[in-house]
A and B are shown apart, each in its own frame.
Chain A
Amino acid sequence: MSVLSQIEELLSKASAELQSASSAADVEQVKVRFLGRKGELPAILKGVKDLAPEERKPVGAAANKARVSLEQQVNERLESFESSSSADFDFTLPGTPISVGRPHLLVRTMADIAEIFSSKGFLVANGPEVESDNYNFGSLNFPPDHPARDMQDTFYLREANGLPEGLLLRTHTSNVQVREFEKRTPPVKIVAPGKVFRHEAVSSRAYCVFHQVEGFQVGPNVTLGDLKGVLLAFCQEYFAEDIELRFRPSFFPFTEPSAEVDMSCLLCAGKGCSICKYDGWLEILGCGMIDPNVMKAVGYDPEVLSGYAFGMGVERIAMLKHRITDIRLFYENDLRFLRQF
């Protein structure tokens, strides 16, 4: 039998065996037997070197062709077994539940706000919640017995169980201003997120506890224009790029001039809707230039330095952003609420 016909015979035998193979393992066996290192086809090829030079070329070509054909057939058969073994693979079954927790919306909101200011070079600082009258009011230019104190209804703490007299729960995060000023030399740029307390009746719009983010900058040439700039940059980054701000002059004892800031309504862009109560504006924060008395109280020279401060309510911002209608939801900690965000 010529070598060529040997090859042909081997090819048809292998094809028949591949067709009758009943599993992927059978196919693999056939593959090894005919194509493997010690297989039948390589054995034939080993003999090629003993042939006459003119015979070598056609035999080599035929053997190569047979190898390619067999490899193709092997792959086809393997694929056919693979697809039939996938018949019981249901890709629509639910994925294995992997528990992932959610951050509390207020914590996330504060972190998002702080992150924007961090990116502009503000340091994130904290201050105490149990505070003295001096840090919460006195050094912030609230004179004793001044009507300004009525603006912030205060929880006072009982001198008992080892607690000294004269302490209260801070009514704003502005206490961080004085505490940081005492520690640092200007220029400073700081944001201070945290919990604050007000003696207020609990309702869907008000709670006796809420969170604020205080921010301030003090340096040689800090201006009202810079204050406007930083707040606009923040609101555009946090809410939407086309946000506009409106500054209404107001009064806070620790800043002068002071303003309350309104943001063009997120929903109607100033045209008027139920969210902004048909005003087109949403009240979003309070701000102003740090009062010289506050500077003096910490030994900063207001002739050389100037600064601004602002404070925003975290609950209010989260409520606006997510259209939440009841502030109490934040403190009930019902997972059906918390896991929405």
Chain B
Amino acid sequence: MKISYNWVREIAPVDWSADEMADRLTLAGTACETVIDLSAGFAKMVVGKVETCGPIEESDHLRHATVNVGEQSLNIICGAPNVAAGQLVAVALVGAVMPDGMKISRRKMFGIESEGMILSERELGLSDEHEGIIVLADGLEVGAPLSSIYGLNDYMLEFELTPNRPDSMSAIGIARDVAALAGCEMRRPEVSLTEEQEKTSDSIEVIIEDAEFCPRYTARIVKNVKIGPSPKWLRDKLAASGQTSINNVVDVTNYVMLEFGEPLHAFDLAQFASGKVVIKRAKSKEKFVTLDEVEREVDESVLMITNGSESLAAGGVMGGLHSSVTNATKDILLEAAYFDASLIRKSRRKLGLSTDSSARFERGVDPNLTVTAINRAAQLLVEVAGGSPLAGVVDNYPKSIEPLKVELRPARCHQIMGVKVESERIEEILVGLEMGVTRSDSGEALVVTVPTFRPDITREIDLIEEVTRIIGFDNIPTTKGYLAATDNRKSEAVEKQDDLVVTLRQTLLGIGFNEICGSGLADGRLLELIDPEKPQIEVANPISDEFGSMRNSLAYSLLNAARVNVTHQTTDLRLFELGNVYGAGIGDKSQAFPNVISADHERPCLGVLVTGQNQPDWRSSRSALDFYVLKGAIEALRAQGRLAKILISPEKLPVFQRGQGFVLQDRTGKEIGRIGNVDSAILKRFDIKQSVSLFELDVAALTGFIQREKNYQTLSKFPAADRDLSLVLNESTLVGKMLEGVKKVGGELVERVQVFDLFRGKQVPEGKKSVAISIRYRSAKKSLESSQVDGLQQKIIVYLKQEFKAEIREK
């Protein structure tokens, strides 16, 4: 909302500058965001006195004047016929900027340097008059700023008001806060009216069909108005409050709205030939042309002001084009009403229109202000449009809305604020805000009568807020009650999951994975490509298709991040995200920890992606960032998180290449994630032209994998014996199975088995692969004899030959 600074000061006489007023109001919760200096448009424009004026020989119409602008005389070339010595004129100095954006500079013509410009009304944007320059009245001070004459010697205060403060949407409302802060008396405009004999009620009747939504409707008739431009004072105040002047009648209704906060509407009385104003709900699919010349469809959510048969205005939002005041209008019907706030909210949504009127009604105007406001408008119409008000108003107000009484205990105020405010001071603040205050019978509480312009105040706490904002937060001392101890136990399951998430994150960071953060919103079409069967949560009102669904896997976010990085030539990636995936009913309620994680439709997951290579350095060669790096990462996570074994089993999954996708399972075969090499068609959709591997794990399920803390196991004091073995295996032999077999056959003396080489090629027959393993033997009880180790090694060799058709390669 915008309002004139001068106007506020007329009502609340304070000597604050506009900036000070803005700051003090802001710190009292009436947020003034900007202060615009309206005299700024007349910068570098002054009153000048023409000292000499003569023709220029080479020109047929230009004249050369010398103009005293206070401290100096300037040479100015001027084309106007009416310039003469002795005149007081408006002069734009070098550097001034005209309303059309033109900048005044020195210009040399006919050997004379012109050092400014003598102005016409049009050049100042005051009127279309451009035949001659402005000749100012005598007696003005030479050199005085032009803003002191023309300007809106004023500031526009621009407010960002919170929705709970309808009372501050007017000059009086702002002035009320100013007066309360400054402790000064308010000077409200005096409303007085000379009326005709003829009564308003003789010409018009107001029928409210729906009193729930229109609790009050006040009408008044003003006859014989002369439509025309508004006087300067009215135009200036409107301009300084951000309103464009339209004509004197419309300007008066806007003026009173800005002054009191009560939206008014002026109809051409000729529209009410029926003698009736009927307020009723619109019919469904009714068509209505609003003042902005747009035909809109309305329905029962819109209240129409009608003459019984025709709709003339959408109540509280905007008038109709056909009932508006025109230059031919003579008699006027003024409306001041009180509409239900939530209805107006629905109406303006239906109409797709937000107006100054609807903004006030939907926050709540004062139901008891209609008569004052309508009389004020009539008074001004007499003044600026020569109207004749008929006697009285027609006021349909079936059920009077009374001010509320709310008790405020100063002790409670102390309890909330943490600082004691004397009850006399509280009373002073509330009275300053135009509330009535008396003592309760016990004397412990103040009984506050809350005026109907404060619909936001219904409870004690609302009054405490008023006291707080007027005293100012700055005057409340800071205290350290925040150090009070509380019981912060979490349930064991929540604790477990929180700890696991930290462990997973720290481990992945430690082994070189970078954390990403996806938005959670996702493109449903790509989700479907990744998981055609998996249901999605869809946004009903998305901002675009790109954000139309909630992600149902982390693969989506990881692939998006990979796309961004690969596009910028960062092709070697180790990425992870710990975040939620979403789906109907996928929450953890049914899991091992019922009622712990209260989310029903989301699950915390871990997603990890690799692509590209480890870059070589000066002594190591490059190695692929692929599936096996992921397996290694899972082992690292298991070790750090003390997690039970995670099984991997082949499964056809659309996100992965055929034969290269697997589900991750617990011991019982329950699925807890997936791992594999991403399908090339999917990569193509993500503009990625290199192979990508990823895995996903359900963090909530993983919590169930956490094993008990281990008991200490004694360390063997005896030396280990290492034996290497080079094998040629069929391609189809799974190395993992072979390693498991070696451990089983070797028994407890085999401490570990490692694969240290794998190759195919020249020395290896077609369809075979060469695998080199290293076995470490150690006993907890004694030093192993080499014959015993050799015997075990031989047993393993026999087993590998029999079970895996392995050939043993000689060294």
Residues of A within 8 A of B75 (CB): none
Quick one: which of A129, A157, A333 has the most chain B CB within 10 A?
A333
> Beta-carbon contacts of B507-530 to A below 8 Å, as 1s and 0s?
011111111111111000000000
The closest CB in chain A to the CB of B460 belongs to A292
A291: chain B residues at CB < 8 Å are 461
- Choose one: B346, B479, B512; the contact of A99 (CB below 8 Å): B512
User: What is the bound-complex CA distance between A333 and B459, given in angstroms?
Assistant: 48
Cβ of B362 under 8 Å from chain A: yes
Instruction: Collect the chain B residues with CB atoms within 8 Å of residue A181's CB.
Output: none
- Nearest Cβ distance between residue B268 and chain A, in whole angstroms? 32
Contacts of A256 in B (CB 8 A): 461-462, 464-465
8 Å CB contacts to A: which residues of B595-624? Answer: 597-602, 614-615, 617-620
Let me know if A249 and B468 touch, CB within 8 A: yes
Q: In the complex, what distance in Å separates the CA atom of A121 from the CA atom of B485?
A: 7
A21 close to B (CB within 8 Å): no
Stretch from B80-88, B105-113, B329-337, B580-588 at the A interface: B580-588
Quick check: B541 and A123 within 8 Å, CB to CB? no
Query: Are A226 and B418 within 8 A (Cβ)?
Result: yes
* B165, B345, B517, B585 — most chain A CB neighbours (10 Å): B517
Q: How many residue pairs at the A-B interface have CB separations less than 8 Å? A: 272
Question: Contacts A161-B535, A291-B461; is A129 near B518 (CB within 8 Å)?
Answer: no
Q: What separation, in Å, do the CA atoms of A150 and B164 have in the docked complex?
A: 12
CB distance from A6 to the nearest CB of B (A): 46
Is there an interface contact between A161 and B486, defined as CB atoms closer than 8 Å? no
* Interface-side segment among A38-46, A72-80, A201-209, A267-275: A201-209
Segment of B123-131, B151-159, B561-569 in the binding face:
B561-569
Is there contact, CB below 8 Å, between A199 and B541?
Answer: yes
Residues of A within 8 A of B486 (CB): 121, 123, 187-189, 217, 219
Assess the B469–A129 pair: CB atoms within 8 A. no
Q: Does A145 contact B (CB under 8 A)?
A: yes
Q: Determine whether the beta carbon of A209 is less than 8 Å from that of B482.
A: no
Do B517 and A330 touch across chains, with their CB atoms under 8 A apart?
Answer: yes
Q: A208-B519, A249-B468 are in contact. Are A128 and B481 (CB under 8 A)?
A: no
Asked if A197 contacts B520 (CB within 8 A), the reply is yes
8 Å CB contact of A289 from B416, B516, B542, B617: B416
CB of A338 within 8 A of CB of B516, answer yes
In contact, B543 and A163 (Cβ under 8 angstroms): no
Residue count of chain B within 8 Å CB distance of chain A: 99
B734 within 8 A of A: no
- Give the residues in chain A near B769, CB-CB below 8 Å: none
Chain B, 486-524, CB within 8 A of any chain A CB? 486-488, 490, 498, 505, 508-521
Of B345, B415, B484, B579, most buried by chain A (CB within 10 Å of CB) is B484
Q: Contacts of B584 on A, CB cut-off 8 Å?
A: 161-164
Residues of B within 8 A of A250 (CB): 29, 31, 162
Q: Pick the most buried of B482, B536, B568: most chain A CB atoms within 10 A of its CB.
A: B482
- Contact A333/B561 with A102-B509, A121-B485, A148-B163 known, Cβ cut-off 8 Å: yes
Given contacts A225-B477, A248-B26, contact A257 B488 (CB under 8 A): no
Whole-angstrom CA separation of A123 from B477 in the bound complex: 26
Residue of B nearest to A155 (CB): B539
CB-based contact A228/B478 at 8 Å:
yes
Q: What is the CB-to-nearest-CB distance from A111 to chain B, in angstroms, rounded to a whole number?
A: 9
Cβ-defined contact, A94 with B473, below 8 A: no
Q: Which residue of A lies closest to B617 (CB)?
A: A97
Q: Which residues of B contact A101 (CB under 8 A)?
A: 508-515, 574, 576
- Give residues of chain B (28-49) contacting chain A, Cβ–Cβ below 8 Å: 28-29, 31
**Interface set, chain A 105-125, CB cutoff 8 A to B:** 106-107, 120-124
Contacts beyond the supplied A98-B512, A331-B517: 5 A-B pairs with Cβ under 8 Å: A161-B538, A249-B28, A289-B416, A292-B461, A333-B517
Question: What are the 8 closest A-B residue pairs judged by CB atoms, nearest first?
Answer: A99-B512, A223-B418, A249-B29, A225-B418, A247-B473, A251-B162, A226-B481, A128-B599
Interface residues of B (CB under 8 A from A): 26-29, 31, 162-165, 342, 345-346, 362-363, 415-419, 459, 461-462, 464-465, 468-469, 473-474, 476-488, 490, 498, 505, 508-521, 535-543, 547, 550, 557, 560-561, 564-565, 568, 570, 573-576, 579-580, 582-585, 587, 597-602, 614-615, 617-620
Q: Could you list some 12 contacts between A and B, CB below 8 A?
A: A96-B617, A96-B619, A121-B484, A121-B485, A148-B163, A156-B541, A199-B541, A200-B543, A217-B486, A233-B480, A248-B473, A249-B28
